[in-house]
Every structure is written in structure tokens, then in C-alpha cells.
Structure 1
Amino acid sequence: MTDSPITRRSFLSATAMAGGLAAVPAAVDAAVQPVRAQSDSDVHWLDGAPPAGHEGQSWGQPWPRGTRLAKGYRLGTEAVQTWPMAYWPDGSIKWTGHAIAADAGRATGLRVQPGAGARPAMPVAVRETADAIVVSVGTRQWRIGRRGEAIIVAASVGTRETMRNVKLVATVQDGPDLDDGEGGTPPAMTRAVGMITAATIEQRGPLRAVIKVDGHHGAGTMPFSLRLYFHAGAQSVRIVHSLIFDGDPAKVFVRGLGLTGDVPMSDAPHDRHVRFAGEKGGLWAEAVRPLTGLRRDPGKAFRDAQVAGLRTPAEAGMPANVRGELRYIPAWGDFTLRQPNSDGFTITKRTKPGHGWIDVDTAGRAPGLGYVGSPSGGVAFGMGDFWQRPPVRLDIRDAASETARFTIWYHAPDAPAMDLRFYHDEMGMTDYVRQNQGLDITYEDYEPGWGDSLGIARTTEFRLWALDATPSRDALVDMAVLVAHPPRLVATPQRIHEAGLFGIWAPDRAGGGAARATIETRSTRELDFYVGQVDQRRWYGFWNYGDVMHSYDNDRHVWRYDIGGFAWDNSELSTDLWLWYAYLRTGRGDLFRMAEAMTRHTSEVDVYHVGRFKGLGTRHGVQHWGDSSKQQRVSNAAFKRFYYYMTTDERSGDLMRALVDSDYALQTVNIGRKVSARDEGSLPPGGASAVATTTALPAGQVFVQFGTVWGSMLGAWLTEWERTRDTRWRDRIVAGMESIAALPKQWFTGGAPFDLKTGRFMGQADQVSLSHLNGVFGVFEITAELLQLLDVPAYREAWLDYCAFYNAPDAAFRAKTGSGGKGRGLRQAHSRFTAYAARERNDPALARRAWAEFTGTGDREGRDQSRAAHRVEGAAVLKPVDEITEVSTNDAAQWGVTATANLVLLAQVMDGAP
């Protein structure tokens, strides 16, 4: 179905009304529905069955080109809040964001349909005052600060205030921790509190309200942004918090990072309750003043009520020999759960400051939920990915006083301070020649001063419940599950595929012959292996969680965590794409969650958000920020689009929008500055410092590689165009396409001077310059989408020539380009390029060549592609582990995305293969 384009005026209308149930242009037809294939549902629960409960959901819904945006939608009979997320070039809707109330949608076979659903019993309402934004959900009211320290000034249930003064706190020191016996002056410690600089209402309800708060941690340091999410019928607020480290790593050592708040306490100490969620559905639950285990028995009614978290009977019913001596039972005011690593946590408590801590218990992995309160009300507080992001801690303080305090430490203050300094000295690598020699031996691209952590970021999720009484034990366990493994409603992969989104892929299907089965077997084997390696190798921690390692050391039976560029992967060769496509193909929840953690990590930790490298990412290395190669290939928006569109995650939207002008960073960061400095004789007069200046370009121009830079910018420009319908981003893409096609050697040129203002490649360079890296950072996948959206015939033919001839035999390549074709690595990965050209040009011989390239010896030398993982144990390793000989994430990721495309492009060939 094709309908008339949505007008600019209609788009602005939709954007202005984005908080409402009818957040769509008035000019479009509510009755129009998209053409659909038959399948069970539009959306489903990620983990299969509907959850026992949830606190509200939002997701992105895909639509085929030509679908008109309806005036309203419903999910079955339930109300849905809707806002536009992206548009097709003709103005029809491509993605909508939807939200539902708490506990809604707990069914299977869910369909998103035009029309109005039943309005929620407890809608969200937002109003503004001079100093606060007030969000109401039924009888709950949340006051969000506009300035000052308190993000949540107060939260109340009915007439009772249950929470107040929720703020961010940080502890930093001016030097590293001192080792035992090291001597010296201990570092000075400073405590800072987050200060709000702006608070913005992004959505107003009635099913979902979103408030964005920006600020910094005192004196303008460590800027943060966070969003508070409120859903109709919910008892809690979800908080997505992002922090940027903007200090000098030689002078700023972060020790504690926390979210803290106050809880009014008025009940008797024996009616005050403290809870920490334990492992495997467990719960640690005690009272501030215990009535169980005493020498004198207060009576079963009192004991049962306290254990259950209920109000105990009137003290008059207590035996006199207990009632008269209650003052002698110690009241425990302070409680701490510490998770210093991914394998164990401890609980301790004390009566009050100045007195000793008492050990309570230990266990393995805490889900990250605590509670403090009474039958009159309280607060449950939690952190996502708690045990995966150690060192972390939950504190409850002053529970015996009139005001208790909770703190979620997302970096524990008693843990070693973060040391973000570069990990080694110059080692004589003071010029480009020696740095290249170092690269040759350790694969680390080192340069003094460039392994800088200033500008990296981290996002953390919290959830706070404002409660009118102490929940039951089972209810608290359910809350812990919600925090640690949140239920998620998502559009089905089938719907995404039917809409024609995310390029060339198809859902996994049973059958199809031996060739297809062989591919699926390897795909499952390698995905399972990497999912398992995260836990086996303990790829956890504040900065590390979400990433995987790059290459394996067969001799030590460990990943090469300490060997230069072989350590952390940092998106190298599109690991993110591999996982997202794997999820789309299989629908596996574990792959979605692994891809989610990776997207959070690679978008934040591996990318600079302020400072001289803003907008660029860091190549793989021993530290995520340590390598001196700063490039768009890592900050690549193509890796983030999946998560943004499937979840409506506003933070990912911010991060992609911040990349649209990252090409300007190349005015001060010359990616190819070391390329010519291979030995002393290759240096121009003046030495290494003169290398960059010998190829100076006119003002406003930078040298840009087609794949690793321009191709990595395409995702940001495409996403901004389809989100805003601002045609300058479309025009920028087209300018690059047209100017590449106008070059004598087109894509085979590899790169050319680029005009930042116009987005055009300049000059008439006729050289052939090939790099295997140019095609393996998402440019193939994003181009497959773009050629469905934009009609640029000359570029299409130039791209198809590149696809067809990159892997061509030497004679054919030379006949086409006049060059011998040096630099054509990753032949197996580029088989998808060959296959694409074969399909687009209807060339069966080319398709057969692509199949041979894909099923050949592979791109990893020495790797047996059919070999499964094997177990290593005993004295050869620290602990039993699984390994695949010669495994490489480069190889696994590129094989995975290549298999994804080839299963579609070469379906006829492989289904007929022996």
C-alpha cells in the first residue's frame, strides 16, 4: 500500500503531541492498516511467557513502507501511548514508539491495531511549578527538582511522604591508592553532590511520562544526564543515568558513585524492616529491633507479624517481662550489602556509628535490591546488572532514627579507587617509527598522551519504589527479578523482517538441506560459546561489562587480555552487528541481553563524549580507551540503531544524534598520521612530526576513508534523517555517493579528501587503494538499506562493481582496475559482497563464486571452522574453561554477519549444494 506523504506540518504536530495517546498528525487516516503477512503476534515477551507482573513497558513497532500513522493505537483492548520514531522517505511511518501501563499486555498473540483502548485506572499526569515538576500516578506523587541537589525532592503515597532528597553523590581523591609499604602521603578525598542544571519534560503521559535531568557533580565536574520514566499504574520510577568522566586521570581517582535518598521512619523499631534480595530467589529479611530469638518470648502473634513484615499487635498484648525490657534489645541502624566481585557478596550490620560491624552472611550473586521501611511505608531500591558491574554496594543507614537513608553505590566507596591512567610508560616509543614497530609486535597503536580516558562515559539503570507498606517476601523477590532480569516487550523479529528493516537478513527456519544446517550449526555453536565465555572469563566490572575479548592465546589458554590490540574488542569488525542480527534471526532472549549490554558498553565506554576526541571511538586494546587510534568505526551509529528502535531507548538516541558532526573531529585527529612512518628512511625532513603536514589539505577538508570513516558516518546521518525528516542529512549522504561515483576508480580508491561543509569527496584521484577494513564496519549492511531508500544510479553501479570485483581473480581485478589488488584480505567475509552483486545483477556464476568464497578455508589462518569448543582443566588453567583453538572475535563476528546475509542472498545456491 502506498499513501501520500505525511506533510512537514503533520510531522511537527505529531512531535508536539508526542506525550499523548493521540500523538499523531490529524491529517492521516486512523483506519489505515499496514499490509501484513499472517503470524501470531506483533509483539511478544522477550523471554517467552508473559511475566507475573511489570512496572510498565515501552517498545518500538516497525511498519512497512506506505503505512499511514493512525490517530491512536491499542494493544488488544488495552490503551497504548504512541509517538513517531522514524519515517520512510515518502513520509509514511517506519517506526512508532509505544508504551503501556504497569501489568498491561500480559498475554500472548498481542497485536498493535489502530483505535482506542481502555484507559488505565491510574494514568500519569504531569504538572509544573516554579521549582519542581510534579508527576502523579494514582495516589503516588513524585516531585522532581529543577535546580539544586535533589533529583527527587519527595515522593508520597496518599498523604504520607515515603521518600525525599534523592540525589547523586561521588567521592574522588587526588591520587592513587597507596600500596602496602609504598609510603607517601595518602591522597586527599573530596565528596561531591550532583547539581541540577536543567530539567525537561519529554513526555507527559497519560501512560508514560519522561523527565530528563542534566547536571554535574560540583564545580562543573563529571557531567551527568538521567531520565526518569513513570508508567500508569506503576509503584516505581525507572532511572537511566549516564555519567561522563571529564577529569585528568593522573589527578582524579573516583572512589564512590552513588544514588542516595532519605526515608521517613515513625513506627516502633520492632516494626521497621530491612530487606536485601539474595541469590536464586532468596531474601534476607530482618527487623531493626528483633523480637525473635529472645530469651523471653513475646508471643507467636508478635513473631509472625515481624517476620512477615506486618505491624505487630499492640504492645499491651505482649508479656510484661518482654514489654518492660524492649529498651534493652539493641536496635540495628546500619546495614550493608557488598558485592566486590561477580562471585560473592557479604551482608554486615551495626547498631550505629562508633560501634563494631557484625558479620551476617555471605552468598554468591546479589540481584541488587534492598528495602527499608515499615507498615506505614517505605522504599525499595535497586540497580540493574548489579553483580555484573562490581564493585557495588547497597547501604541502609540510620534505620533506628527518624530518617533512614538508602544508597545504591554503583561504584562502591570502599573499593579501590578507579585508576584510569594509561597502563605503561613510553618504552622508547617517542616517534611514529618506533610506535609502528611497537604495533608490529603487540598490535597496540601507542602514542604518548593519546590513551586518554577523559571523555568516556557509563550508563547505569536504577529503580525506586515508593511504597505504602512493607511488601511481602514473595513480592520483594518479584521486585528483585524485575531489577535483575527486567521483562521486556518487543516487536517480533518476524514483524521487523516483514517491514523490510535492518537490511539483509531473515528469521531462522528449520530444514533447508545439509549446507544450511552446517551453517546454522556453526552459528549456534559460536554464539553459545561467546555467551558462555562472558561468565567463564568473568568479563564483568564497572567499565568492562558488555565487552568481549578480541583474540585468544592458545598456549596460556586465556584471551590475550594483556597483549596490546588483542585484548578488549571495542566493536572490532562489527561484533555488535553480529549479536543483533543473531537475535533477530533466532529471537533468543540471551542474545538480546548480551547485545544490549554490549551496546550500552560500546556506546559509552569506547566512545568520547567530551574533549578533543569527542565523537570518536577507540580501537581495541588492553584498556578500552588506551589505543591511540581514534575513529568513527567504533563510535558507529549503525551499531546502536537496533537497540534504539526496538526499545525506544532515549539515551541511545542522544548518542547517535551526537555523532552527526563527528567528521569535524578529523580536523584535529589525523587517523592516517603514522602510515608513512615505517622506518627511519621513510620520514620526510623534520622527522615524524612532519608526516602529517606533508599532506596538508585546504581548510575545511579532511582525508576520509570510504568504509571506516564515511561508511561509519552513514548510520548517524541516515538515522537523523529518518527520525527528523530533515533532508540535509539525506543530501549529505547523496553528496558522498555522487562524488564517490564521480572518481575515476570509485570505491576502489579507498578514500579521498572530503569537504566538511558539502559532504562531497574532492579531487580526481585515480589510484587504487584497498583495505580489508573498509567493508567490515557496517558499511555493507547500511548500504543495503540506503540503496532501498535512495535512487543514485551511478553510485549503485559503483558499489556493485566494488562488491563484484573485490574478491575477483587477480586477472579480472587487474582488467577492471589496472591494479594487482593488494590489500584484499578477509575474502570469506567479503563473500557477502560478491553474493549481493550476484543477486542485484542476476548473475548465477557470481553467486556460485560467492558460495565458494564463503565455504572455503576461511579468514582465520589455522582455524578449523568445523571444530567445536573443548574443555581445558587441571593445572593448565586457573579454573575449568571452554576454548576453541585459534578463536578470534574478528573471525566470529564477520563470519556471523556474512552468514546472516548469505543465508538470504545465496539461498538457491546453498539449498542446491551437496
Structure 2
Amino acid sequence: MKNKPKISRRSFVKASTALTGGAYLLSPMMANAHFFQRNNDSVQLAWLGNTAPKYNQGFTWGTCWPKGKVKRESSFDLVSSEREEIPVQSWPLAYWPDGSLKWTGHAVPAIELSHTAFQLSPTSKAKSLQGMKVEESDTTIKIDTGDLLYTIPKSGNQIISSIQKGERSLAKNGRLVVLHQNVSDEDAADQIMKTNFQGNISKISLEQKGALRSVVKIEGSHRSDSGRDFISYVVRLYFYHQAASFKMVHTIIFDGEEETDFIKGIGVKFDVPMKDELHDRHIRFAGQDDGIFSEAVRGLTGLRRDPGKVIIGAQLAGEKTPAISEFPANVSKNINYIPAFGDYTLFQGDADSFSIRKRTAEGHSWLNSAHGKRARGLVAVGGPSGSFAFGVRNFWESFPGQLDIKNAHTDTAEVTAWLWAPNSPAMDLRFYHDGMGQDTYPKQLDALDITYEDYEPGFGTAKGVARTSELNFWTLDATPSHSQFNDMCTYLEEPPLLTADSEYMLQVGVFGGLWYTDKLQSDRAKEFNEQLDWYFDFYQKQVKEHKWYGFWDFGDFMHTYDTDRHMWRYDVGGFAWDNSELSTDLWLWYYYLKTGKKEAFRVAEAMTRHTGEVDVHHSGPFAPLGSRHNVMHWGCSAKQLRISTAANRRFFYYLTADERTGDLMREQVNAAEALLKVVPIRKVAPKETWGTDDPNRVYLGFGTDWGSVAAAWLTEWERTEDKEIREKLLNSMRSIGNQPKGFYSMGSRMNLQTGEFEKVKTNRASASHLSAVFGLTEIAIELYELVDMKSFNKAWLQYCEMYNASPEEQENVLGNRLGKLNLQQGHARLTAFVAKEKSDPRLAKRAWEEFYAGEGGIRRHGVAKEISGPEVLTPRTEALGVSTNATAQWGLAAMHCLAILGEK
């Protein structure tokens, strides 16, 4: 059976409108789709991973809609496959240019959801949602989720002053803490001075006030008793109706001096009232898999005198024991001599080892209680009258982490979720070498030639880099059972997410529609599927084998492999951490869109969290630019838009409606201004090329620079419908299209106020192999169809056709040859795009020839082999010829070419 020809998105929308009178044709998604009453304006949703959560404390997701089909004022209904109506809160995330909804955010409360599938439908009938009550005054925000009342002060050092159920206080004095020391642990231990900093609120806003979901954003800095501010923070608190928990997204921004500011601990603290008898107070830590550390503050097992099965059974189950008067006399009369252990700590020092210790109180020795490999990051303290639980997502992956309980034997316990563990060495952010005399640009370029590291004094600073963590906090009516505790842990580690299927999103046309799905059955698709899966599985394995984990590292991949040492080049200049080089993020996200695999989503999610925070300066002299690949994520002197680009963040934002990711993209709206101070080409181009005394004009390359600016402006425009941003974007597109050689004019000075580029004076065409491989391709293709600007489209098609053209063709069309270029395989997708737009079989044939030739890329993945024994420290999998840059570009080229050309 021959494959059906691919229908363009423009043709698809036309045809679907004609066939349905404006209703959108849905692709079938799941086996039980027949349960739904057919509604052609609806979208069917399924769980990420295809498994309904056992435990739900509320969650949020994003859904896309076809252009022109859902009115901006629409409300939404959510119905399960069992025809049960589910309460849903909805809001717009993005609009199409015609004002119709493009993406919407949705949230459901903490209700049981065992259904396998759902149908989300726009409706003109707005429903009144009953749920949370939110009150805001000049001094506080109070949120009543149904059972629990949270009080959030608008100033001071408490992010939550109290959590109450009725008249009872369940937790109080929630606060952020940073422990500081003036020197590293190793360099001058006898001179160590430690200082405590507490989070101080400078700004607070009720970002979302809803019946089912409310969000509070808190900004500030940690302050010492002496008044010094250190380590800025952005914290969001998420509340869902009927939830026993709230979620925290916690971001710190380093704004200190690496030589004198060493972080000994980063944490979130609460005070927890303790009401139960000492032997009815329980401690729970989640270990690896489904293992749980379970003890009581005053244990009743293993004593010389036996309390009996009923009492012991109740304590082991976390239930209330009988009154002490009902204990055997030989136990009750001496019960006060049983030590009460008030302090517990779980320390995850690396990715493969945790320990649990306990002591009776401060001033006494610790006892080693238990050991394991990978703790899941959840702890609970309390008793039958109520418990408080808290957990850190990706706990062991983000080591060093620590979970503390103190004074559980007193009336008030203090609990701390440490994102950087005080039991570990102090965080040392100093650059890893002294510069080796690289005090001039020529010397720095010589060093670049041998280690691939672009060093410059003062540029390898961590000032302004950030780290975001996710936490959950529970207030429970009793000690959680082991089953409930494990369900809570699963919710923490794998928060529920609803998603539309790949075919639906492909036909809607979001993200350029640059992937294909299982609907395409062919030998080539089978070949690509196998290789795409192979690469993803290989990198998943590399993460595990080479331990790409840690507070600052989790989420990133390494750049290049060292075949001589059988390890990745973690210590060789620009060959170490990848930092989004050649669009690793985009490869993973398009792979997820193609496959719908939960594993792919989680890897891409972790990379987005990392590259958007750690690899970008959010304050300081280089904000908001990103840093090129290096031994240290922030180490390279190439501070560039191509790393901080919103193009890498859009997927996660729209699929999850994550507000922090929205912040990161908004940071980039005016990022071009930073290039006035930090010029990307300062070392390799004469100043007359980029220099200007006009503060309103800055030199931008039409490739990585403009592609990043366009991604930020496009995203901001579709999120806010800001007319000024729209005009700047259109002006920039138009003025590129009007250049003498279009994109091959390479770059020009842009007016920061209008977005318009000056027309370059030269008629010579030039090209860089990097221009299109940092998101420009994907953003330009989106804009090509979204805006449909003739001058821009003509310039983009010319760029697509001529990059891999023969020297003779280049000279004939452009007036000169472009010279030797690299990454021809990655650029085959550009040839494919122009072939489709021109309906040119010759260009389509050329695209496939370019792809399979593998120049500047990969012809076929190598065979993985296992290495063990004395050649390596630990067993590992090696595949010669695999590099992250080539893999990302091969993956994008394979998916894009087949999506664009189909099997023509």
C-alpha cells in the first residue's frame, strides 16, 4: 500500500473547514475513544505515560487549538471517558494572529482521577466554579483550599506564616534559608566564618486567583543579621482546591563573589507543632524503589520488657497506641527511661549513596541508622493527630541534598528541605583555572584552537546563574500509611500531566509541525524510528553510566567523547558540558512530540530546567545572555543569545503552563540590548563591523542572534498580543527580506526601538554553518506560515536553497560562491523545506542525497560496545563516532525532512 502524500497545514485547515463547516477533524487517539460523544471542536487527552495517577493533589497542563477555531472568550468543559464531568479551571496561554486561542492552560483540583482518557471542549457557556477562597489585604494573602487555610505575609522573612485546619495550627514560620561561609572547606579551614541568611520579601503578587488553582509569586533576597543581602530568589506557591499539599517552585540566583562567597546550605524550613505522645510520633523517609525508613521518636520494640502485639502493631502502623495506663506495668512504669530521638537527618551526598542518622538532641552523638543508594526525597513527621510531610523532586539526581527533622521530641519540631546539604562541602563556584596568561584576544584564540575553550578574564563568573527546584509540602490528618507515603512519593517524582496526542498537535501546526508520527508507515520511517530510538536510549544510558547528576549539572549532556580515555571530555575546555550546542534541547523536544514517550518528556524537561537556569545569566553584567559550552556551565566568554534563546523553552512552557519558564522567555524580549556591552564577534571581527555610538542600535547576526530575538518576540506576541512587539518582529523580518542578499547579508545594526535593520552596503553573500542550527530553522519556518510576508519568505527560501547548493548555483544566484561550509546534513532539512514550498522534485531528491551523504553529520550510528575491566573505572557503553552535536542535528534533520517531504 502506497503512503498517502503529506498534506500541508495550510491545505489541511482549508480542507477540514470545508468538510465540517468549520469544525476541526480529530485524529483517533486511544482505544476507548468511542466512549466520547463526537465533538469536532474538542481534543482528546491522555495521561503522559498512559497510566492514571493513583494519587492526585491537583495539576496543570497546556493544550493547543487550531487557528481560528476557538474564540478568545471561550470556556472549557472536561469530560472523562466514563462521561464524568471534571471541574477544570482554564486560562489563555497564547493567541493566533487572528485573535483565536492557540494554547490554553488548564488545572484540575485534588480529586480522584482513575480515568484513562478525557475530552476537552470549548464552550460559550461559562461555568461558575466553586472552590478555594482567596482574600488579599495590605499585609497578607489568605488562601482557603477547602480544608486548609494558608496565611502568606506580604513582607518580612516568612513565606507562609501559618497553615491551619480549623483552629489547629499544622505548620508555621515557613522561611527560606541560606548558610554562607567566607572560605572553602579545603583552603583555609581555620579561618572559616559562617553566617545565616533568611529570605526577605521584596515583592509579592497574587499571580492567579482561581477557584481550583491559585498561584502566589514571591521575590526577594536572603538577608543576614548585619543587613547584607545575598542570593536572590523567586518562589512560586501553587495551591489546588481540596489538596492536602501545596507545591513550591524555588529559584535561587547567585549574586555573590565566587572568591569569598561559599554556600554551605540552601533550604526551606517550617516549624511543626507536635501533640502526640513521644511513642506516637513517627518519622518516615522514602528510600529507593518502594523502601521506607519507618521509626518512632520513642521506640517500643526490642525492649527488655514486651509491650505486647497490640501496642507494637499500632506503633509500627503509625496508629495511636492505647493510653499509657493500658500498657503492661513493667513497661509503663519505666517508659520515661526509653530514649526519645528528636533529631533525624537523611543526607544524599552523591548519586549513589544516602545515609540516615539520628540523635536524641543537640549536644549528643549521632547514631548511624540506615544506608541506601538513591533516596526519593520525601520525609514525614507527626503522629495520629496529624503529620507534616515535605519532599524535593529529583532529589538524588540533584545531590547534595539533605532532609532534616529537629526537636521532634519537643512541642515544636523544625523541619528543613535542604536543596544544598550543609553536611556536604561548601559550594565552590570559582573558575577552574587561573587563565594561564590569556590576557589578549590573540592568546585567547590560540587557546581556543587547542582546547576549544573561549576564555576571557572576568567572563567565567557564576554571577547571575540560577537554579530551580520543585518541592511539595503536605499537611495530613494522621501518620501516612506506607502505601499512601509511596503514592505521595510517586506524585512528587512523576507529577501527573495530560497531553494531546502527537498527530493532533502535528495537524494543528504548533512548533512548525516539524515531526512525523507513527501514522507514517514506510521503510524510511522504520529506519529513522530505529535510529532515533537508538540515540535517545544511548544518551539515557550515558546519563546513568557517567552520572550526569548534581545540583548544577542535572539535565545537561556532555559535548564530545574521548575515545582514548573511554570517557566524555569533562575536563577539556569547550568539549565538556553541552549547554544547548547545536540544539540538543530541540532534538529532545521534537523526539518527544514524535513519540509521546514519557521518558523523552522527562529528559527534555530536566534539560529545559537546567539550560534555562544554569546556562544563562539572569542578573549581573552578562544578563540575560547564555554561556557557550565549557567545563563549567557558565565558564565560556562567549555570552550569547543562541544559548538563552526562548526557542528552547517554548515546548515545556506550552505543554505544562509553567510560570517560571514563562519568566525565562520574557527575560529574552529585550536581550538584544545586552549585545551593546557584550559583543559576540568582538574577537574575530573589526570594530567597524559591529561598533556603534548609538545606544538604540546594536549589531545582530541574522542567524543565531536574530533567530533568538525572533523566538522571544514571537512568543511574547502570541502570549500577550502586544502590538509593539509584533511590529518590531515584523519590521525585523521585513528588513532582513529587503537586504541585498537576504539572510546571506549575514547581519546588520538593528534599531532597538523599532526592530528594523539597516541595509548593509556590501553586495557580497556570506554564510555561517552555525546560523540555522540554534533554533533559527524552526522559528523561521513557524514565521513563514504564521505571518506569510513575501519579502521574508523569499529570503528564507533563498537561504534554504543556496546553503547546500553547488558553488556554480551559488555564484549564479548570489553573485559569489559561499566557500567551504559545514553541517551539510543538518541543513538538508532546509533544502527539504524549499523543495516542498516550490514543489520541486529535484530539490527533494537533493535533500535526501544531502541527508544520507552525512557530511558534517552522521551516516549511520556506530555499534555500541560494553567496556569493563582495568581500562575503565566502572563498566560503560561506548559508541565510536557519536557526539552530542551531530546526534542533535541528525535527529532534527531526520524528523524535519521526513515531516516536510513525507515519502514523495
TM-score range, shorter chain: over 0.9
Structure 2 residue aligned with 1:772: 769
How many residue pairs get aligned? The number is: 861
- Report the CA distance between 1:748 and its aligned residue: 1.0
CA contact (8 A) 1:51 1:106 kept: yes
Q: Does 1:154 align with 2:144?
A: no
Secondary structure of the structure 2 residue equivalent to 1:824: coil
Change (3 A) 1:491 1:158: farther
Q: 2:75 aligns with which of 62, 72, 76?
A: 72
CA–CA separation in structure 2 for the residues paired with 1:106 and 1:385: 25
Out of 296, 299, 306, the residue aligned to residue 287 of structure 1 is 296
Consecutive unaligned residues in structure 1, runs of 5 or more: 3-30, 677-690, 910-914
Q: How does 1:617-628 map to 2 (within 5 A)?
A: 617-628=626-637
Q: Which amino acid aligns with 2:208?
A: Q
Residues 694 and 58 (structure 1 numbering): CA distance in 2 closer, same or farther, change over 3 Å? Answer: closer
Q: Which residue of 1 aligns with 2:816?
A: 819
- 1:45 counterpart = 2:47: yes
Structure 2 residue 117 is the aligned partner of structure 1 residue 109? yes
Q: Is the aligned partner of 1:566 residue 2:598?
A: no
* 1:374–1:469 CA contact under 8 A, matched in 2: yes
Q: Write out per-residue CA displacement over residues 570-622 of structure 1, whole angstroms, 9 at most, x where no aligned residue.
A: 00001000000000000000110000000000000000111111110000000
Aligned match of 2:651: 642
**Is 1:631 the equivalent of 2:640?**
yes
User: Could you tell me how far 1:696 is from its partner in structure 2?
Assistant: 2.6
| Root mean square deviation of aligned Cα | 1.9
Quote how far apart the aligned CAs of 1:899 are.
Answer: 1.0
Amino acid at match of 2:697: Q
The match for 1:761 among 754, 757, 760 is 757
User: Structure 2 vs 1, CA of residues 507 and 801 (structure 1 numbering), >3 Å: closer, same or farther?
Assistant: closer
Return 712-721 or 110-119, whichever deviates more: 110-119
CA offset digits 1:308-364 (Å, max 9, x no partner): 111111112111111110010000000000100010111100001111100111011
Q: Report the CA distance between 1:118 and its aligned residue.
A: 9.2
Deviation at 1:419, TM superposition (A): 1.0
- 2:89 equivalent to 1:89: no
Q: Partners in 1 of 2:748 and 2:345 — Cα distance?
A: 58
Contact persistence 1:394–1:409 (CA under 8 A):
yes
Secondary structure, counterpart of 2:62 in structure 1: strand
Matching of residue 872 in structure 1 with residue 867 in structure 2: yes
Report the Cα distance in structure 1 between the residues aligned to 2:770 and 2:796, rounded to whole angstroms: 16
Contact 1:177 1:186 (8 Å CA) reproduced: no
The separation in 2 between residues aligned to 1:640 and 1:486, in whole angstroms, is: 19
What is the TM-score of this pair, normalised by structure 1? 0.92
**The one of 212, 219, 236 aligned to 2:217:** 212
Larger mean CA deviation between 429-438 and 495-504 belongs to 495-504
Question: What residue number does 2:82 align with?
Answer: none
Which residue in the other structure is 1:904 paired with?
Answer: 899
Deviation at 1:471, TM superposition (A): 1.4
Distance in 2 of aligned mates of 1:295 and 1:257: 42
| Amino-acid identity (%) | 45
Which amino acid letter does the alignment assign opposite residue 737 of structure 2?
A
1:782 aligns with 2:787: no
Deviation, 1:506, is: 3.6
What is the aligned counterpart of 2:184 among 176, 183, 190? 176
Aligned residue in 2 for 1:54: 56
Q: CA deviation at 1:32?
A: 9.3
AA of the residue aligned to 2:769:
H
2:146 paired with 1:138:
yes
Q: Is the 8 A contact 2:515 2:590 kept in 1?
A: no
Deviation at 1:283? 0.7
TM-score, length-normalised on structure 2? 0.93
Identify the residue that residue 741 of structure 1 maps to in structure 2. 737
In the other structure, the counterpart of 1:443 is 452
Does the CA-based 8 Å contact 2:235-2:250 persist in structure 1? yes
- Cα distance in structure 2, aligned partners of 1:595 and 1:647: 13
1:73-472 correspondence to structure 2 within 5 Å: 73-76=76-79, 77-115=85-123, 123-179=131-187, 185-218=190-223, 219-472=228-481
- Which deviates more from structure 2 when the two are superposed, residues 450-459 or residues 63-72? 63-72
**Residues 168 and 908 (structure 1), Cα distance of their counterparts in 2 relative to 1, 3 Å cut:** same
Q: Which amino acid aligns with 2:92?
A: P
**Quick check: 1:78–1:117 contact (8 Å CA) kept in 2?**
no
2: CA distance, partners of 1:383 / 1:904:
39
Instruction: Kindly indicate whether residue 709 of structure 2 is the aligned counterpart of residue 713 of structure 1.
Output: yes
Asked if 1:36 is matched to 2:32, the reply is no
2:804 matched to 1:807?
yes
Residues 414 and 505 of structure 1: CA distance in aligned 2, closer, same or farther (over 3 Å): same
Cα distance in 1 between the residues matched to 2:490 and 2:744: 52
For residue 575 of structure 1, the aligned residue among 570, 581, 584 is 584
- 1:766-801 CA distance string (max 9 Å, x none): 222211000101111111111111131011111101
2:347, 2:423 within 8 Å by CA — same for their partners in 1?
no
Map of 2:668 onto structure 1: 659
- For residues 504 and 577 of structure 1, the distance between their equivalents in structure 2, rounded to whole angstroms, comes to 13
User: Structure 2: which 5+ residue stretches go unaligned?
Assistant: 1-8, 11-20, 31-42, 80-84
Counterpart Cα distance in 2 of 1:793 and 1:135: 52
Structure 1 equivalent of residue 36 of structure 2: none
For residue 875 of structure 1, give the secondary structure of its aligned residue in structure 2. Answer: coil
Q: Is the 8 A contact 1:539 1:547 kept in 2?
A: yes
Classify 1:823/1:158 alpha carbon distance in 2 versus 1 (closer, same or farther; 3 Å).
farther
Q: For residues 241 and 423 of structure 1, do their structure 2 counterparts lie closer, same or farther at Cα, with a shift above 3 Å needed?
A: same
Equivalent residue, structure 2, for 1:553: 562
Q: CA deviation at 1:173?
A: 1.2
- What residue in structure 1 maps to residue 65 of structure 2? 63
Runs of at least 4 residues of structure 1 off by over 6 A? 116-120
Compared CA separation, residues 511 and 225, structure 1 to 2 (3 A): closer
Tell me by how many angstroms 1:104 deviates.
4.7
Which secondary structure does the structure 2 equivalent of 1:596 belong to? helix
Judged with a 3 Å threshold, the aligned counterparts in structure 2 of structure 1 residues 889 and 328 are, in CA distance, closer, same or farther, namely: same
Aligned-pair CA distance for 1:753:
2.0
Question: Do 1:32 and 1:68's aligned partners in 2 also have CA atoms closer than 8 Å?
Answer: no
Contact 2:176 2:267 in 1 (8 A): yes
Could you tell me which residue of structure 1 aligns to residue 790 of structure 2?
Answer: 793
The secondary structure found in structure 2 opposite 1:780 is helix
**What letter corresponds to residue 881 of structure 1 in structure 2?**
R
Q: Which moved more, 1:734-743 or 1:774-783?
A: 734-743
Distance in 1 (CA, whole Å) between partners of 2:97 and 2:625 is 29
Report how far residue 507 of structure 1 moved: 4.1
Q: Which residue of 2 aligns with 1:685?
A: none
